[in-house]
Structure 1
Amino acid sequence: MYSIVQLQAFVATCQHGSFKQAAISLNKRASTVAELVSTLEDESDIKLFERHTRKLILTEAGRTLEQVASATLREAAHFSSMVNSINQQQPTKFSVAIDSMLTHPQISRCYRAVLEAFPNIELEVMTGDTLQVIEWISIKRVELGLISAALRQFDGMTQFTAFNFELVEVAAPTWFNHGAVVSHAQMRNLLQLNYSHLNQVDLDKRYQISHRVCPVNNTQEILNMVSEGIGWASVPRAMAQDWIDKGRIVEFSIEGGTGVNWFAEIAHLSETEPSIAADIFVQEIMTLNV
């Protein structure tokens, strides 16, 4: 069985090209490093270096094994870090689900805050529609979820507001001019792309204007469909603005309509106390201005 110190000596020698420089990097004597490498060669029955006067040349076999040895040392370091995290009662895993209506670059800042606080934590991120996120929380697939408010309380869930966000009406440039004001009568004959979860929580009629509606469960796909002139939609401004700026879609308003703001909610199982990692994520989410 090859020891960690043997692998350290071997990898350091590969990196520095001599036992002396490897010894300095490991804070050991050169003779100790040379002996560790020689022992590794004897035990593996593989020659790792061609030894010349004042020069070591890595063999082909040594070059292959150096990659494996380096990976083994990284895994060993990760194992030690995880042991330390457990001993210090730090969280080792954090899983979160994000409503696809709310995916935004600023959310990444919240992941980063968790990783900066706990560099060794295993982070898992999932995306889905509102009800998928609630389902993942309920079966403990994820610890925490960020959902678009469905104006209802889900059984067994603790929910609280994270931030507000503006909705904007968008259509293809071939439909309207940017900033156009369109009558209700005109809108009723156009296909409306609506979020599918609204139908599942009985809110579809509240946000339906057109006679024909196509349910879609993903904002990115709604924007793709709008840009192709398939239908119009109300989507979060934060996700639509770049498309508007690039001229792929246009913003318009409906005659007599007023601005609409929705809000995002944090959700978790009421029976479960959120971890420290979840607390950090929530604190960061609460500072967003999406």
Structure 2
Amino acid sequence: MDKLRTLEIFLATCDGGSFASAAKSCNTDPSTVSKAISRLEAQLGLTLFQRSTRQLRISSAGERYAQTVRKMFQDLSACEDELRESNEVPKGTLRISSAVCYGHLYLRPMLKAFCQRYPDIRLELEINDLHVDIIDHDIDIALRTGYLKDSRLIARQLSPMDFLTCASPSYLKERGIPACAEDFANHSWVGFRIKQTGQLQPIFLPDKAGQYLPYELHRDHITDDGETMANMCIDGFGVAQLPHFLAKQALQEGKLVSLYPYFRPPHPDSGVFVIYPKREFMPARVRVFIEFLNESLQAMGEGHNYTWAQNWQHEVSF
């Protein structure tokens, strides 16, 4: 018999004043109650009840022990109630890890509205491009472009990751507008080095049939920071292929133009994902944040299988 069950029987005996009463309360028989009390006394080296043929009387040691055990059960019950409430009600600390560019450009602008809707949730943000172990680091949610295949995690796609081939108007006025993919060999390029692999992000350009194919082109300038790549493109350093969340604001403001329609890499892991540990009972703070993310992205014209880039007008004219 486990210790918790034994302590329940002990308190029932205290309250009922007899083994028979305790047996009825605990849905067992008097013999089982008597044996449980005897084992507990042997473990403690104390007499908890004075026995006689007529009555069962609790000892002074038993009274003191009962006070402690009763408080323990009360504290345990209160703790369980609090934990249950925190799991069912959106409250507590929500720990979020986000890729840098997505965190700056998409996540941060959403947070004020989220906290206004759920004022009992406190945020802890970790912004970096490292694919840290979110279980070891006690992170509730990670936002990643691409994701690690970890059987302990659930990865839900928030949106695809669409790319646009961009240049600044000033650069195109100076260098001309490429007429076909082969013309890009004569243009300057700003490349992106992927931190996790050290490899350059591949360049895809459309052939005459509009099918996107990989091209080996010289990168005149290289960076491992997405926002720096976008700003170098805005500053006229050259052409860059930017993910939709990096290109959006500059395209809307006319600081960049898109030379072609969007393209979507064929790799199955390409996309924007929300990642969280597998749990049988998801905390409410995690559930409402995922719902809020999807709701906010839908208002921006994005969903799990589309982005605003699909409807972007890419015609270039001066």
Describe the SS at the equivalent of 1:221.
helix
Greater alpha carbon shift after TM alignment, 168-177 vs 210-219: 210-219
1:192 is matched with which residue: 189, 193, 214?
Answer: 189
Do structure 1's residue 153 and structure 2's residue 156 form an aligned pair? no
- Max radius of gyration: which structure? 2
Distance 1:160 1:113, change over 3 A: same
Q: Find the counterpart in structure 2 of residue 142 from structure 1.
A: 139
Go from structure 1 to structure 2 and tell me whether the alpha carbon gap of 1:217 and 1:154 turns closer, same or farther (over 3 Å shift).
Answer: farther
In structure 2, relative to structure 1, the CA distance for the partners of 1:242 and 1:160 (3 Å cut) is closer
Q: Which residue number corresponds to residue 251 of structure 1?
A: 258
Specify the code of the residue in structure 2 equivalent to 1:135.
V
User: How big is the shift at 1:154?
Assistant: 4.5
Contact kept, 8 Å, 1:149 with 1:265, in 2: the verdict is: yes
1:280 to 2:288 alignment: yes
Q: Secondary structure at the match of 1:204?
A: coil
Aligned twin of 1:45? none
Separation in 1 of the partners of 2:200 and 2:152? 21
Tell me which residue corresponds to 2:128.
Answer: 128
Alignment match, 1:21: none
CA displacement at 1:202 relative to structure 2: 6.6
Pair 240,175 (structure 1): closer, same or farther in 2 beyond 3 Å = same
CA separation of 1:156 and 1:200: change in aligned 2, threshold 3 A: farther
Structure 1 CA distance for aligned equivalents of residues 112 and 276 of structure 2:
20
Work out the CA distance in 2 between the residues paired with 1:141 and 1:182. 51
Name the CA shift for 1:109/1:188 in 2 (closer, same or farther; >3 Å): same
Q: In the alignment, which residue of structure 1 is the partner of 2:272?
A: 264
Aligned equivalents of 1:92, 1:144: Cα separation in 2: 14
1:95 is paired with a residue of what secondary structure? strand
Could you tell me the percent identity over the aligned residues?
Answer: 14
Partner residue, 1:204:
201
Name structure 1 gaps, 5 residues minimum.
1-83
Cα contact 1:198–1:204 (8 A) shared by 2: no
SS in 2 for 1:94: strand
Q: 1:238 to 1:204 in 2, by over 3 A?
A: closer
Q: Give matches, 1:169-180, under 5 Å.
A: 169-176=165-172, 180=177
For 1:278 and 1:171, the matched residues in 2 are separated by: 39
What is the SS of the residue equivalent to 1:286?
helix
Alignment partner, residue 216 of structure 1:
223
Aligned mate of 1:226, from 218, 233, 242: 233
Displacement of 1:222 in angstroms is 1.4
Residue 167 (str. 1) matches residue 163 (str. 2): yes
Tell me, which stretches of 5 or more residues in structure 2 are unaligned? 1-80, 205-213, 265-269, 303-318
Amino acid at match of 1:267: I
Change (3 A) 1:206 1:138: farther
C-alpha contact (below 8 Å) 2:190/2:220 kept by paired residues: yes
Q: TM-score w.r.t. structure 2 length? A: 0.50
| Larger strand percent | 1
CA distance in 1: counterparts of 2:226 and 2:125, whole angstroms: 17
